[in-house]
Each structure stands twice: as structure tokens, then as C-alpha cells.
Amino acid sequence: MHEMSLCEDVVQLIEDQATTQRFTRVSTVWLEIGALAGVEIQAMHFSFTAVARGTVADSAKLEIIDIAGIANCPACNQCIPVLARFDVCSECGHYPLDIIAGEEMRIKELEVQ
Amino acid sequence: MCTTCGCGEGETTIDGHSHDHSHMHHHHAGHGHGAIAATHAPGMSKSRILRIEQDILSKNNEYAAANRNHFNRHGMLVLNLVSSPGSGKTTLLTNTLSQLKNELPMAVIEGDQQTILDAERIRATGVKAIQINTGKGCHLDAHMVGHALEGLSPEEQSVLFIENVGNLVCPAAFDLGEAHKVVILSVTEGEDKPLKYPDMFHAADLMILNKIDLLPHLNFDVDACLDYARRVNPGIKILQLSATSGEGMENWFAWIRAAHELSLIGSRPTEKV
């Protein structure tokens, strides 16, 4: 359940932004979460609701943008979709692959008032 | 949530005390203090979209960078020990401390959800230790470690072991500022754990396969296990040992000595770098 800590970090970063960007309420939070980031999306929704209570993000809608896992194969130089860190190249069977997308955990945008 | 440095760790205690910022706030470099001035800005009430593009772990990473900077300046070798519960982490640690305490300055940060039992086991070896209880938290983060350092005051050029909460999932994502993550797996667990928990085995530089004295009584496939670990992390170093019988421990000590020697380079005051 590190989703709870991740949500605490999200809310903390939003509160910092509230000071510098001068807003008092957040209505929507867009997060980018990669398929290889080890994050349970359901747990994120549950945790966010709990952690945001009483903050500028209280009752804000959490929107998760899924980022698919993509790797580059150093052997055949193809970019291929991957579902796990230890996947082998679907073109030539080589591993390890260089992960180039899917590890993201980012706050992308906020809708604020 | 604390408004001094924004830490939201209501249940975390360090040696049984919740950390009180009026007494022991450690000023980490480069983090914005997040108390919100709930002022109403006229003309700002309409909705607008702000582009943030900020890593969720950026705060933890700032704390980790501050810790790492501190460790480097003091020539410390810091090892973050991670494993599932019951892998023999604490036994490995206490036997290591007993063997090396006359040779190297050492200290321990113990992370557990509850109880100070492990810190007491460590202190029984004569090495100083501080306990962080995370409450419901499933991992240590860099901010907790920064606070624990204030209470522990490890010696210059020492080896600091951070025994993380027993959990092969959550601690993988949280950099504490350590030089190396060391993952401990015991042969009483499944040999496919590196594939089941790839993030942790990917994040570790060293894997210790513990309790090898029990292999004759088990159906644990060592070769398959090592193959799985290398599939997830081709660069991982692997040591096989038994903390209880002592078999293989000399390799682990040799690894610690070599890593410690590396961490000293450039940290000695007379040295020009």
C-alpha cells in the first residue's frame, strides 16, 4: 500500500503549488501512471480520497492517464510494447530490454479555482 | 500534516517518540515549505488548468539527495537492506555487526511497523541503533531517514545499515540516499520471487540468498532463482550464505569492506579531489 504515501506526496506537491500559483481549490487532478510503475490504480483512487480530505484537493476528481510500457531492444533496435520489466523482445527474443516508457508517476495537470 | 516541512507521517515514531519539529527539524536542501495561506485572490475564482509535469516522488528524491550528499561528505557507506518478512535480515545484520564491530565503525537504522524489538537486538551487539516505527506505513522514506540521522549521529566514515520494513514491493520506489540496495531472499521462500517482485530485484545492486544451510531439506531450485534474478537485473551481484551457520559470510564481509573503501575515497579531509 505505498499508494497511500504516493497520494500524500501528490497532495503535498499540490499544496506547494497552491501557494506559488495562488489557488484555493482543486477540482481535477490528472496523474500519469506507467504500467511498470508498480502502482495499483484502485488503491490510488481509494487513498487519494482519504488523503485529500481537508486540503485544497478535498473532493477533487482523480483522473489517471495510463502510460503503456515500451522498450527498445538493443539487439534488433525495435521499439516494442512490454507488460513486465523482464519481458523478452517480441521480435528477436533478446533480453534485457531498455525500458523507455511505462515507469512514469507524474502529476500532469490540475484544474484549479 | 506538519506545515513546517509538510511531512504527513502522523503515525511514524523514532525510538518511540513522534518527531517534534520544534525540537528536531532537519533543514533539508531545496524543498519548498508547504503551509498554505488560504487567502482568497480576487478574480482568481474561475477554473483554470495548470500544467504541473512533476514527478510524484520528487519530494522524496529531494530528501534522498540531501541524505546522499550528507553521506558522501562524511565518507559513509549506507546500505538499504530490503526483503520480505522472515528472510533472516535481522539475524544477518546482528551476526555481521558482531563480526565487524572491532574493524569498522557502524550504526543501524531499524524500520518496522511496530515494536522496538529489532533495535534492541541490534543494540545487544554493542552497535548503536535507532528504531523508526512507521505505524501503518509499509516502507521507510528519505525524510524519515533524515530525521533518524539526527537522533543517531553516526560516526564519520562509518557503515550505516538501514533495515527497511519487511516488504518486497513498496520500498523499491523510495530512494533513501543509500549507496546500494541489498535484497535478501531466503531459500525457504519461493525461487520465483525475483519474477514476482521484479521492481525490487531490479533496484538492488546485491542479492543475498540466505539460509543455504537448509537447502538439503527443501526443494528450492537455486539455479532457477539466480537465473530469474539476472533476468530482471543482469548486473546484480549474488552471494549465497547462511547467517546462522556462517557459511559464505566471508564473501559478504569482503563486499562490505570493498564498498566501504570506495565510499572513503574523496572524503578524507587531506585528500585533493
Cβ atoms < 10 Å from Cβ of B29: 10
Of A1, A12, A108, the CB nearest to B8: A12
Q: Which residue has the cell 549465497?
A: B240
B-chain residues within 8 Å CB-CB of A51? 8
CA separation for the pair B141, B179 (Å, rounded): 15
Q: Which residue, B85, B60, B78, B62, is CA-closest to B9?
A: B60
Query: Tens digit of pLDDT for each residue in B77-103?
Result: 999 999 999 999 999 999 999 999 999
Cβ atoms < 10 Å from Cβ of A20: 9
DSSP B162-198: EE--S-SSGGGG---S-SEEEEEEETTS-TTHHHHSH
Contact (CB<8Å) B56/A20: no
Q: Closest Cα of chain A to B227: distance in Å? A: 12
Q: Which residue, A15, A16, A25, A9, is CA-closest to B48?
A: A25
CA separation for the pair B56, A33 (Å, rounded): 10
B42 part of contact set with chain A, CB < 8 Å = no
| The three three-digit cell numbers of residue B258, written as one number | 570493498
| The three three-digit cell numbers of residue B267, written as one number | 572524503
Interface test with A, best of B3, B28, B50 (most A CBs within 10 A): B50
Classified as helix, coil or strand, A19 is helix
In the predicted structure, residue B33 carries a pLDDT above the cut 90: no
Q: Which amino acid is at B57?
A: L
B136 DSSP assignment: T
**What local confidence, expressed as pLDDT, does residue B67 receive?**
97
Interface test with A, best of B5, B12, B52 (most A CBs within 10 A): B52
| Whether A3 contacts A96, CB under 8 Å | no
**CB neighbour list of residue B19: distance below 8 Å, 6 or more residues apart:** B12, B13, B147
Instruction: Give Cα B26 distance to the centre of its chain.
Output: 19
- Mean pLDDT across the stretch A19-25? 95
| Whether A106 contacts A67, CB under 8 Å | no
**CB neighbour list of residue B207: distance below 8 Å, 6 or more residues apart:** B182, B183, B184, B185, B194, B201, B229, B236, B237, B238, B239
| Whether B65 contacts B145, CB under 8 Å | no
A-chain residues within 8 Å CB-CB of B198? 84-86
Give the helix/strand (H/E) hosting A43: helix A41-52
- Mean pLDDT across the stretch B16-25? 52
- Mean pLDDT across the stretch B239-252? 98
**What local confidence, expressed as pLDDT, does residue B41 receive?**
46
| Whether B29 contacts B66, CB under 8 Å | yes
Judging by beta carbons within 10 Å of its beta carbon (0-12, 13-18, 19+), is residue B213 exposed, middle or buried?
middle
B43 part of contact set with chain A, CB < 8 Å = no
Q: Which amino acid is at B262?
A: L
| Whether A38 contacts A102, CB under 8 Å | no
Q: How confident is the model at residue A95 (pLDDT cuts 50, 70, 90)?
A: confident
Query: Tens digit of pLDDT for each residue in A50-93?
Result: 999 999 999 999 999 999 999 999 999 999 999 998 899 999 99
Q: Closest Cα of chain A to B55: distance in Å? A: 4
Contact (CB<8Å) B32/A15: no
A-chain residues within 8 Å CB-CB of B231? 86, 95-96
Query: What number of H helices and E strands is found in chain B?
Result: 9, 10
Query: Tens digit of pLDDT for each residue in B156-195?
Result: 999 999 999 999 998 999 999 999 999 999 999 999 999 9
Contact (CB<8Å) B198/A86: yes
